[in-house]
Amino acid sequence: MASDAERVIYSGWLEADLDAEVRRLCLVYGWRYYHSYLSIRSTKGYPDLCLVRAPRVVFAELKRQGGKPTEPRLAHDKRGYPRWIEGQTGWLRELAACPGVETYVWWPEDVRDIATILDTGPAPEMPCHQRMGAMLEDAR
């Protein structure tokens, strides 16, 4: 869990800062890392990261401190036509239901826990683990 001082430091981090740190940790712990370079033509809501180190697969949505994943919603395009936009929560919930797939919403304050997850695995007391569990509970 992050200290108050760490929270102040991390509060200024952008999603790109967290992404760079996760990429570095993947190198340290031997994970394959995938992040779409430009998601404009990608399916909406798909998680930011797919990480693989056999036998584990991790999907993670990166957010600024305190950020929440998007919910599915009805939107309108430039011409005013309705369009369904798949939310990030839908993807994360569906992936979490797959055996052996780990899903997370990571904030900058989770950096130490992310390192532990990539090294040895998650622990139930980790805030990012609890955050995901709460999101799954809300879906019920």
HEC states along the chain?
A: CCCHHHHHHHCCCCHHHHHHHHHHHHHHHCCEEEECCCCCCCCCCCCCEEEEECCEEEEEEECCCCCCCCCCEEEECCCCCEEEECCHHHHHHHHHCCCCEEEEEECHHHHHHHHHHHHCCCCCCCHHHHHHHHHHHHCC
Fold assignment, 4-138:
Trna Endonuclease; Chain: A, domain 1 (3.40.1350)
- pLDDT bracket for residue 5 (50, 70, 90): low
Please report, for the chain, the start and end positions of each structural domain, with discontinuous segments joined by +: 4-138
Q: Which pLDDT score is estimated for 133?
A: 87
pLDDT digits (tens, 9 = 90+) for 25-74: 999 999 999 998 766 667 778 999 999 999 999 999 999 999 999 888 88
